[in-house]
């Protein structure tokens, strides 16, 4: 929509709602997070966690957040909640 060739402004709140919806649809279509099995090896798409072994634990709230187990130095295991969009199936 425009007025005299000038695009109509879109409220930031509406843009945020659309972005959240697109993210939710993308998670459902791309990652199929609910199809992960507890204990399955996964890859976390985050540079800060690169090279750290992760295992899927469970979905936290629907399909937005999940819990994973990270194995860090000296074999210490830590539970981490992370955005489901960052969890990818690990191919070996």
- What pTM was estimated for this model as a whole? 0.58
Question: pLDDT for 15-41, tens place per residue?
Answer: 999 998 887 766 565 555 557 889 999
Sign of the CA dihedral running 72, 75, 78, 81: positive
Q: What is the set of domains in the chain, with CATH numbers?
A: 10-89 (2.30.30.30)
Using the predicted structure, report yes or no on whether residue 58 has a pLDDT greater than 80: yes
């Amino acid at each position: 929509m425009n007025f005299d060739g000038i695009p109509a402004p879109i409220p930031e709140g509406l843009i945020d709602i659309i972005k959240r919806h697109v993210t939710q649809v993308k998670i459902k279509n791309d990652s199929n997070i609910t199809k992960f099995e507890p204990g399955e090896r996964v890859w976390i798409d985050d540079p800060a966690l690169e090279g750290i072994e992760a295992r899927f634990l469970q979905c936290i709230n629907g399909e937005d957040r999940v819990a994973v187990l990270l194995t860090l130095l000296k074999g210490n295991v830590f539970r981490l909640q992370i955005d489901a969009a960052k969890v990818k199936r690990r191919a070996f």
